[in-house]
Amino acid sequence: MSKMNPKEWAAQVVKQEEIDKYLVNGKDFIDESEIINKLETNRNPDPQRIRDILGKSLSIQRLEPDETAALLNVTDPELLKEMEETALKVKQKVYDNRIVFFAPLYCSNLCVNSCLYCGFRKENSEEKRRILSLDEVRKETEHVIDEGHKRMIVVYGEHPLSDVDYMVDTIKSVYSVQKKSPKGRGHGSIRRVNVNAAPMSISDLKKLGDAGIGTFQVFQETYNRDLYSKLHPAGPKSDYRWRLYALHRAMDAGIDDVATGALFGLNDWRFEVMGLLYHAIDLERQFGIGPHTISFPRITPASGSELSTNSKYLVSDEDFKRLITVIRLSVPYTGMIVTAREEPGIKKEVIKLGCTQTDASSKIGIGGYSESQDCQIAEKQQFTLGETRSLDEVIRELAEMGMISSFCTAGYRCGRTGDKIMNLLTECVEGKFCKLNAILTFKEYLEDYASEQTKTVGEKLIQKEIDEVKQIPFFKQHNLIEKLEEYYGRISKGERDLYL
């Protein structure tokens, strides 16, 4: 970790030459007037044009800005319903009925930035500051493993004490933990660590890549420059363009699973959806790969932040569903994450519209997993959680809806990342491997962590899945059914971490 004082440290974060190298024809990929113009000129779209666009999404092609702008302008309830139905079909085609689970681990809330919507901003004296020691990281990880998780996202404020070397140490600590399951069958561990952190230089990103991270995630918050400046008045985060190319640098550093997002509630949601699309297009253009996932967190009340409760752009549930539908249709290959910021009812609805990943049993206070529930005091959290149910409860609800919970991390460990996974996703092949690995990891979960009630519902669903798999020619052609049955039997007898 850096011993520099925070002010000096913050002043040397941004490297101009690592921004300008990504300009195309001297321009950034976001042009606000172009976005506004597209939203304006695609008003009142003709229903037949919308249906043609839906056909394009269904053939798993990424949409162009005019097409997305047209979808964003649909208000007719019948057409909106068709869009929702198509979004679900697209999701099923690419990702089937799987939902991938992860847990966040907040390692530090020290921060040199001043984001007006966040409880961690440096001016917030209500916030009790804390950075986890590596021992504490391991303890937190044990709790997360005990819930049954296999994937984690580590989250950090931006500060010299939580610089890239600290991140690498914490990631290694997470990977080092092995824990016997409470039911005494297998050993659990975190098999994939993703990172949500401030934008970094290419050399720092290489260090993260060497630590074996899965996805590097940075949310742009808003794609509107002027608003961005107002919301981020100080610190390295005030540099809009340093953030805009954070994922480009990650790609250059060899991390080819990158994740974007916007914080919804700061600005007109239509504008931000267009920004996300332009971001995906530029990553495709410059690296041949779009974002591995897109997130669309809605702003939730944060300690000491008035903006988090009184912003005039807070997004209603109806609009939230629309924006998720349009993202699913516009970037059909991408994973989509709905987090525990959302309450169970709306989360259930948007999972049906195309979300592919979510978290559960989450604690977002620093040290929150190790401390008792009573200690989850508001000032220790970055913002308020809407979903506080256990992983077991959420999994049971999804299984009752016919959705299989996946803890699969095989893609990343078999080299199915970046452009390789993108091609498989667009050809709808990756989904097939994932279906089998979802069954295997779900079985592990049911054996090691599930309540009896969840196990009963889950086993029934697995049986139905296996029966379905046997009918699919792809699996027969590739001799995958025998393999699945062999691995399934071995997991039932206590072996773990078998994947295709």
User: Which residue of 29, 101, 120, 240 would you call a contact of ligand SF4, by CB under 6 A?
Assistant: 120
User: Which residue of 74, 153, 218, 398 would you call a contact of ligand SAM, by CB under 6 A?
Assistant: 218
Residue 37, both tokens: 């113009």
337 binds ligand SAM (CB under 6 A): no
- Smallest gap, in angstroms, from Cβ of residue 237 to ligand SF4? 5
Comparison of 118 and 439: residue with beta carbon closer to ligand SF4 = 118
Taking contact as CB under 6 A, which single stretch among the options 5-13, 193-201, 228-236, 394-402 is the one that binds ligand SAM? Answer: 193-201
Burial of 142 (0-12, 13-18, 19+ CB in 10 A): middle
- Smallest gap, in angstroms, from Cβ of residue 157 to ligand SAM? 5
299 binds ligand SF4 (CB under 6 A): no
Distance CA 287, CA 237 (A): 24
User: Which residue of 112, 144, 197, 253 would you call a contact of ligand SAM, by CB under 6 A?
Assistant: 197
Distance CA 498, CA 500 (A): 7
338 binds ligand SAM (CB under 6 A): no
Contact status, residue 91 vs residue 328, Cβ threshold 8 Å: yes
110 binds ligand SAM (CB under 6 A): no
104 binds ligand SF4 (CB under 6 A): no
Distance CA 450, CA 395 (A): 9
* DSSP structure class, residue 221: B
141 binds ligand SAM (CB under 6 A): no
163 binds ligand SF4 (CB under 6 A): no
Comparison of 149 and 237: residue with beta carbon closer to ligand SF4 = 237
Q: Which does 204 bind (CB under 5 to 8 A by kind): ligand SAM, ligand SF4, none?
A: none
User: Which residue of 382, 405, 409, 437 would you call a contact of ligand SAM, by CB under 6 A?
Assistant: 382
- Smallest gap, in angstroms, from Cβ of residue 382 to ligand SAM? 5
Contact status, residue 202 vs residue 252, Cβ threshold 8 Å: yes
User: Which residue of 107, 153, 198, 281 would you call a contact of ligand SAM, by CB under 6 A?
Assistant: 198
Sign of CA dihedral 49, 58, 285, 264: positive
Q: Roughly what angle, to the nearest 10 degrees, separates helices 164-176 and 202-210?
A: 10
Nearest CA to 297 out of 236, 365, 364, 230 is that of 364
Is residue 357 classed as helix, strand or coil in its secondary structure?
Answer: strand
Distance CA 95, CA 290 (A): 16
Distance CA 1, CA 164 (A): 7
Distance CA 165, CA 325 (A): 39
Q: Where on the chain is the footprint of ligand SAM (CB under 6 A)?
A: 117-118, 120, 155, 157-158, 196-198, 218-219, 221, 263, 297, 299-300, 302, 308, 341, 382-383
Q: Where on the chain is the footprint of ligand SF4 (CB under 6 A)?
A: 111, 113, 115, 118, 120-121, 157-158, 198, 237
